[in-house]
Amino acid sequence: MHDRKIPLKPRSETYCSVVRPVALHEAECWPTTLNHEQTLHAMEIRMLRWTQELTRLDRFRNDVVRAMFGIARVVTRMHA
């Protein structure tokens, strides 16, 4: 997932089909707190930045990074 030679679309599909389900496993049973939501959001952004080889020093906003992959916030997926 970290290789730049792989196009963005397959990396995005891999993230959505592998990483997200693992992170949200049994999420409907959690007593959701703001702390849980912030932790999941931070994990998601960290994974997306790592996949794109972006750092905070590159100064891309989180919503821009998420838009590169064309995915919604993990928290909205958790509440659905």
pLDDT exceeds 90 at position 66: yes
User: Looking at residue 62, what is its pLDDT?
Assistant: 95
- The separation between the first and the last C-alpha atoms of the chain, rounded to the nearest angstrom, is 26
CB atoms within 10 A of CB 69: 19
- Domains of the chain, by residue range, sit at 31-80
Q: What is residue 2's predicted lDDT score, i.e. its pLDDT?
A: 66
Closest CA to 47 of 16, 75, 78, 10: 16
